[in-house]
Amino acid sequence: MELINDIWIVPSAGGEPHRITRSAGPATLPSWSPDGRFVAYTGHNRRSGYYTNQGIWIVPTAGGEPWELTAGFKYPVGDFAIKDFLGFEQPDVTPHWSLDGRSIYMNVSAMGAVHLWRFSVPDGRASQLTFGSLVIYNLNIHPGSRWIAMAVTSPTLPNDIWAGEIAGEAVHERRLTNVNREWLGQVALSQPNRFTFRSRGGPEEEGWILPPTFSKTDKPPAILEIHGGPTVMYGYVFFFEFQLLAANGFAVLYSNPRGSRGYGEAFASAIRGDWGNHDYADLMAAVDAALSQGTLDPGRLGVAGGSYGGYMTNWIVSQTNRFKAAVSMRGISNLYSFFGTSDSGFLHAEEYGGAPWELPMSYLGRSPISFVDRVQTPMLLIHSDRDFRVPIEQGEQFYTALKFLRRKVRMVRFLSETHELSREGKPWHRVIRFDHILHWFRAHLSPK
């Protein structure tokens, strides 16, 4: 089974639709060129499975082969910066043609930031037009003009609308709204500090430390947060969970290990069929690099993550006891059973080269449940009963095994919630979820 779709043209006056692409992968968000001779769309050819960069493709409407305008471009187009004020299925940006048809504008995810870029047609020459530590997660360009409206977030800005005029190789933008003015005046927010590091044999990578908002002298406890996906990235976005932890005396450590988007397709696909190897090494290297700065308490470390980040949380505590508390949210524990219970588990057959009954050790050998007897870290498991992406049986397996082994574990089940609890759940459920996370880390890491 493949995740493949195509672009079709349907006559506005009626008649038979006809297909203009023969894709090897996804083809989405079509956009007509001004003269109607071409359609631009986003997609990829699955050359690296679902780790493949999303690019801009163009196909003649009269018939002919599509070509990838962004072939050879290092970064994926679109916004892949994960956030918790907006659902994972966030607004998609359609390729925007210039009025003369010689350029296409799109946002691009690169090294934690998401900015507006221009791509020349037909040679694909790329030019970055906006800059700074921020994420443009949605945009629209006024037809027939150079004016652009952008939805923007940053670590201390939940979201606002900016507008600007495209002039040459730059955008002269200004902020139009301040919708959270009253609330922002009542809270203390923390600004992340960026650092770089390397794991053994790996490329240079980047991470961030969000310091506590009130701790100035004592070394605070630190919580390693791990993103889901894995093919997304942490970046310059507002994150409720991080700011809440920082406001309660915890430093928050987060990074983009191999497997993340925004650093090139080879970087993302480095963990293809190999979860728990390079990604684990990178996360431990990020912790070591953060601790080497001498500002965090190495004896009070926590770890947390959701979805793939929950998998990595489960994997980490089965490989090391350096963390004193863990919160695994909608986390995978058994890749073998995940294949048949998840709405996307079958995709791992492409990664591992076969189904679990054909290659059982490829699945079980990278499943945290296979090493659950090594776990000594107190664990909080959070799961939703209507999660079809990572079904609740994944949490139940890990919880039952840990209870059987008489380890310290608690499981919180949210009723009538889905995989999107942390981003799109009922508001009071999201508050309760935060309460459980804070209580667990306070109980085991004791911030002063």
Cβ neighbours of 118 (radius 10 Å)? 19
Compute CA distances 74 → 101, 132, 202, 240, 289, whole Å: 23, 19, 18, 30, 26
SS3 134: coil
* Pairing, β 47-50 against β 55-60: unpaired
Residue type, 116: L
Most distant CA atoms of the chain, gap in Å: 72
Q: Out of 115, 419, 422, 444, which one is annotated catalytic? A: 419
d(CA 389, CA 397): 16
Contact by Cβ (8 Å): 389, 330 = yes
Contact by Cβ (8 Å): 107, 78 = yes
Q: Out of 33, 190, 307, 367, which one is annotated catalytic? A: 307
Radius of gyration of the chain (CA): 23
d(CA 109, CA 41): 17
Contact by Cβ (8 Å): 381, 411 = yes
Residue 33 annotated among the catalytic residues of the structure:
no
* Pairing, β 204-210 against β 193-198: antiparallel
Cβ neighbours of 415 (radius 10 Å)? 8
| Residue 103: closest CA among 123, 84, 83 | 123
Residue 227 annotated among the catalytic residues of the structure:
no
Residues designated catalytic: 307, 419
